[in-house]
Amino acid sequence: MNKPLRRIAIFCGLLVITLLLRDNWLQYVKADTLATDTDNRRVAIERYATPRGDIIVGGKAITGHTTTSGSDFKYKRTYKDGAMWAPVTGYVSQAYGATQLENIEDGILTGNDDRLFFRNTLDMITGKKKEGGNVVTTLNAAAQKAAYDGLKVRGKGAAVAIEPSTGKILALASYPSYDPSTIAGGGASDEKAWKALDKKNNPDDPSLNRALREVYPPGSTFKVLTAAAALENGLYTSADQKTRSPLPWTMPGTTTPLKNEGNIPCENATLRVALRYSCNTVFGKVGSDLGNEKMLEEAKKFGFTSEQFIPVRASASVFSDDMNPSQTALSSIGQFNTAATPLQMAMIASAVANDGKLMKPYMVDELQAPNVDTLEKTDPEEMSRPLSEKNAQILQSMMETVVKEGTGTAAQIGGGVTVGGKTGTAQHGVDNSEKPYAWFISYAKLSDGSAPVAVAVVVEDDKAVRDDISGGGLAAPIAKNVMEAVINSKK
């Protein structure tokens, strides 16, 4: 063979070897990755070829499915009361992917989870069509409706309810919201609805899960945590011990006195009186006296500075480190840099109600196979102990005074139910120029001493007259309705 032909033969041989190597790389090394790649059209077609399993609340499905036409995707998702449940379910869309429970539990809902392999193999042998499993939530439908309807009247906000003894989430509402059914397909109407959800096109940002992803200044509701820090660190040992709180009180390192709202009895007030009247001077000085390190330590015990996974991710609530005494004072009354999700504030109320034990919040009770056999069950898990039992009960008595004769009377429930709570009105915006947020955190105790529910509500009412905005006036009635819904569902 002459030299030119030999070179061509060698070159062609190298090309064949390269093709073989590439072919083996794709078939064996990259096979699994390509088979599950979301950009692989066959994967998407297979995903929507069978009905999706359901998300369950109180034994009833809040999701469904319907067939589609004019597409190689056979089924698309439907939702019942979609806007009310969107903060729980998220969405699954032929065009825009999936979020929240629809995304996290996608393997169960589509039937592709490894735990369903044996069943899927049997179905393939017998010729039975593959089915998706179910996600059973901890949610209480009546509590969710009470929360959503209350927020809808006010225009904007969020509410979270927790069962203190277990950490089960009973309500998770956010308003304004959206119906995930409107973006479940891939047509022109879905595209229009998708664009309408974009914050650039809708400043109300209806797709924002305010219960989990928005952090607000908590205002005076944070004083419950500050009171807990005072008791836990031995700064004060009872609810009725007078505090060392002069009036006026000038914040350390400044010439600025910390002001209270109106002419209220805050000078050397007891913790009970200070919580009842929401004395800034008392709790600001408590925070300053304890110092940044001890306040931060207590805040972390309640869950601050860490993301929560329920299993949907919740943003980390904020309590800063490296603050000077005056900044610590402001942070200790829920201002300065302090910011919290509604979930976080419900966790505070829940820990107090549960005698100081904070249970890890969760909203998936169990995962089911298509034949409703249980694949996985969530067991309640203790997260931390921010308070001793003794100090938690002291704080309960203080919060109950707030509802009996303080700023939280709108949350009172009759029939032998005792309610503890704390109102808050959180300033925000440049120089506090924006309308305040109205907060209320609370729990309800039955006559047997059990506490079936703790609630946090935040209201952003842009239409309210500024002077009429208060946690007791706007948020407490919503919390009351949610607590009543939970209590009535147990009868």
DSSP 60-104: EESEEEEE-SSSS--EEEEETTHHHHHHHH--EETTTEE-HHHHH
Q: Say if 463 falls within a structural domain.
A: yes
How far is Cα 155 from Cα 437, in angstroms, rounded to an integer? 12
Q: From the candidates 177, 220, 278, 332, which is the catalytic residue?
A: 220
How far is Cα 477 from Cα 413, in angstroms, rounded to an integer? 10
Q: At what angle do helices 389-405 and 223-232 cross, to 10 degrees?
A: 140
303 sits in the region (left: phi over 0; alpha: psi -120 to 50; else beta) called: left
Q: Say if 369 falls within a structural domain.
A: no
Among this protein's residues, is 317 annotated catalytic?
no
Please give the structure tokens belonging to residue 70: 């004019």
For the chain, how many structural domains are there in total? 1
Taking 70 as the pLDDT cut, the residues of the chain under it are 1, 23-40, 118, 120-124, 127, 427-435, 461-471
Query: Do β-strands 169-175 and 157-162 pair in parallel, antiparallel, or remain unpaired?
Result: antiparallel
Tell me what pLDDT residue 290 has: 98
pTM over 0.75: yes
For 99-200, list the strands marked E by DSSP. 134-137, 157-162, 169-175
Domain range for 322: 219-362+384-489
Please give the structure tokens belonging to residue 442: 């609370």
Tell me what pLDDT residue 464 has: 43
292 membership: H or E segment, kind and range = helix 292-301
Q: Say if 319 falls within a structural domain.
A: yes
Residue 474 DSSP one-character state: I
Query: Do β-strands 358-359 and 313-314 pair in parallel, antiparallel, or remain unpaired?
Result: unpaired
CATH of the domain at 259: 3.40.710.10
Q: Say if 214 falls within a structural domain.
A: no
Give the SS3 label for residue 440.
strand
**Alpha-helix runs per DSSP H in 303-452:** 325-331, 342-353, 389-405
Tell me what pLDDT residue 79 has: 98
Tell me what pLDDT residue 431 has: 46
Q: Say if 12 falls within a structural domain.
A: no
Q: Say if 33 falls within a structural domain.
A: no
Residue 159, amino acid: A
How far is Cα 476 from Cα 484, in angstroms, rounded to an integer? 12
Q: Say if 193 falls within a structural domain.
A: no
Question: Taking Cα atoms as reference points, which of 301, 52, 292 lies closest to residue 180?
Answer: 52
Q: Say if 15 falls within a structural domain.
A: no
